[in-house]
Amino acid sequence: MTEFRRAVRYHQAQWREANGHPIGSQPIVPKPDGGSVRLVGSRLPLDYARETGANFLSAGALDAARSRSSIKEPHQSFDYQGLWADLLSSAAMCFNLFGDMAADLGLADRAVHTWWSDAPGIVCDVRFAHSPGRLDRAYIGNLSAFDVAFALDLDDGTEGILGLDTKYHEWTKPETPKPSNLRRYLEVAERSGIFVPGATDGVSGRSDLWELWLEHLLLLSMLQHPSGMWGWGRFVVVHPVGNSSFTEACARYRSLLVDQSTFSSVTIEELLDSDVLPRRTAASLRERYLLR
């Protein structure tokens, strides 16, 4: 438990109290048999959260969350309870950051080309919790997905894809990628030609970079897809400047690449400092997620 993680937990509890929201619990939904329950300041009661949408900062964010929750992509796994009731939820933060853009593609296009000026084309869709094909070995055969993906019309019959992974309170926990999928992972990595010699040796075993690698591979597999549907792509990690776990992990991951054009990271502070989001939304995001 780093100082940053302790601080943002306390910050969310303070935000909840300042806005008059009731306190939630662990588990989020108490068991009917009366098992042990403890109060958690950075959570809301689930029924209250669903009824009020209190975890979302704008009507656009709430509408986008409700719309996405009403559909299910094949083989989707999604923490609906956390989305609505956990104030530390990065999924909720993602909707708060980008939800207004789902109903305003003009805003989405201005934002994307402000934040990533070299991105080609025009934003034609905003897709939350999105994968082109979970468990599909034409991609990478696992359950990886982007927290949000901006589809870009490249005006040549293909799409560009800007896939984002949003992190708030998380840390880079070491894990081992599923061995049964390793051959496919290495095939995509080798075909991309962007990794330094020996780079995959360090991430194909137990590593704290495994999640960055797999989501980057998902992006790369789209660019390699036999349909030729995607003509440009980039995977981006979004995190607060204070989350040193992801700051350091992204720096180490970059060192594995000889070509960084399909991978980047950006802080929430940098996104907000660009002044591309509506002023009220940006102010609410600063108050809600940034430490003073």
- 3-state secondary structure (DSSP) of residue 150: strand
Split at pLDDT 50, 70, 90, the class of 77 is confident
135 alpha-carbon distance from chain centroid: 19
Helix (H) or strand (E) holding 128: strand 122-130
Query: What whole-number distance in Å separates Cα of residue 19 and Cα of residue 180?
Result: 48
Question: Would you say the C-alpha torsion 264, 267, 270, 271 has a positive or negative sign?
Answer: positive
pLDDT at residue 106, as a whole number = 98
- Note the pLDDT of residue 33: 78
Q: What is the pLDDT of residues 95-141, one digit of tens each?
A: 999 999 999 999 999 999 999 999 999 999 999 999 999 999 999 99
Predicted confidence band at 78 (pLDDT cuts at 50, 70, 90)? confident
Q: pLDDT digits over 209-248, tens only?
A: 999 999 999 999 999 999 999 999 999 999 999 999 999 9
Q: What is the DSSP string of 195-221?
A: BPTTHHHHHSSSBTTHHHHHHHHHHHH
Contacts of 122-126 with C-beta under 8 Å, sequence gap 24+, read 122/152, 122/153, 122/155, 123/150, 123/151, 123/152, 123/153, 124/151, 124/152, 124/153, 124/159, 125/150, 125/151, 126/64, 126/98, 126/101, 126/102, 126/150, 126/151
**Among 169, 161, 146, 176, which Cα is nearest to 237's?**
146
The one-letter amino acid at 288: R
Length reported for the chain? 292
Strand, coil or helix: what is 95? helix
Q: Which residue segment(s) compose the domain that 220 sits in?
A: 3-289
Q: What is the mean pLDDT of the chain?
A: 96
Average pLDDT for residues 20-42, to the nearest whole number?
91
For the chain, how many structural domains are there in total?
A: 1
Residue 8 has pLDDT above 90, yes or no: yes
